[in-house]
Amino acid sequence: MPSRHRVSDWEDPDDWLDAPGEIRLDGAVWEMHPTPGHTKGHVVFVDPARDVMFAGDHVLPRITPSIGFEQAPDALPLGSYLDSLRLVRSLPDRLLLPAHGAVSRSVHARVDELVEHHDVRLRQMHELVAAGASTADETARRTLWTRRGRRFDELDLFSRCLAVTETMAHLDLLAAGGRLQRTEVDGVTHYSSD
């Protein structure tokens, strides 16, 4: 079945939105907050009158958004993502309207879960490197994935790519914080805890 949409049919946007700021829509004023991490240009929208946050892919109710999987990722996408979670957590708690999944009564409750998830992941990955994993690929292969604790080889190819990219984001953040050393050998990034 042929696609109904062709890239050649797309037009450039009428306007670019610069966050932070406000936009007016149908007489309502919406707050726009920058939340890079999932992607560099990600934003969330808050409608204070309705007490809701349109969180896009920044805060998802059942899964964690992919981090660093874009053509030109941020230097430390996980650091940006965690900073963005802190920003969202500093705002008043609201009804969460995510891009994927069910509506949730509390943005804050889910943000707290996401921060805890990444804290656990950072500890796990630090321990795996200390135990001998050297690259993001080796570390990802020794990590359990999804809520079901799946092994790396049980994931489909796309999910494996996401797993390695997310692992690299965690390892790079650990290296930037001085908890790991990062070196390049023949174009491959290696990590060590010594």
Write the DSSP string, 75-118: SSHHHHHHHHHHHHHHSPP-EEEESSS--BS-HHHHHHHHHHHH
Task: Decide if 2 is inside a domain.
Answer: no
Task: Decide if 5 is inside a domain.
Answer: no
SS3 content of the chain, % helix, strand, coil (to 5): 35, 20, 45
The length of the chain in residues reads 194
Task: Decide if 88 is inside a domain.
Answer: yes
**CATH number of the domain that residue 73 is part of:** 3.60.15.10
Quote the pLDDT of residue 7: 60
Task: Decide if 76 is inside a domain.
Answer: yes
The count of domains in the chain is 1
Task: Decide if 1 is inside a domain.
Answer: no
Is 102 exposed, middle or buried, given 0-12, 13-18 or 19+ CB atoms closer than 10 A? exposed
Task: Decide if 14 is inside a domain.
Answer: no
Task: Decide if 39 is inside a domain.
Answer: yes
Q: What is the pTM of this model?
A: 0.89
Alpha helices in the chain (DSSP H): 77-90, 107-130, 136-141, 157-176
Parent domain of 103: 19-192
Task: Decide if 36 is inside a domain.
Answer: yes
Quote the pLDDT of residue 119: 97
Q: What is the pLDDT along the chain (194 residues), one digit of tens a residue?
A: 455 666 666 667 677 788 899 999 888 899 999 999 998 889 999 999 999 999 999 999 999 999 988 888 789 999 999 999 999 999 999 999 999 999 999 999 999 999 999 999 999 999 999 999 999 999 999 999 998 999 999 999 999 999 999 999 999 999 999 999 999 999 999 999 97
